[in-house]
Amino acid sequence: MSGALLAAAQVATAVPPAIIALSDPSPQTAHSLTVIEDLADAALFVAIAILSAAAGLAATFWVRLLCYAVAALALARAVTSPLGLTALDAWAPIAFLALVLVLSIRMLVAGRRAAG
């Protein structure tokens, strides 16, 4: 469920820029589409927070802490970015990518242990 939410939010962030690129909107319309894209981006980070928190539910203690820290960072980014605060614009995506890397490595290691 959270993966579907993440995918839908990702698609939603791509629609307004595509409309701007494929049409010749007036400045007012372009501004409105940019605001919509900012809100879709915030929704994407809410979805990332939900997915990160859900991934931590069945994890070991240190992975659960990492998941919840990434979820908190993504949620903070979702709230602060539309308000014009850009401090987390780079850190939240990097933290999520690091979490995906950690979870992927843990799955690969667990798969090798089960096969070996």
Q: How many CB atoms lie within 10 A of CB 101?
A: 10
Average pLDDT, the chain: 92
- Specify the pTM: 0.87
Residue 116, pLDDT score:
63
22-78 confidence digits (pLDDT tens): 999 999 999 999 999 999 999 999 999 999 999 999 889 999 999 999 999 999 999
Q: For residue 1, what pLDDT band results from cuts at 50, 70 and 90?
A: confident
Task: Domain ranges for the chain, please list them.
Answer: 2-115
- Those residues whose C-beta lies under 8 Å from the C-beta of residue 69, and which sit 6 or more positions away, are 95
Q: How many CB atoms lie within 10 A of CB 32?
A: 13
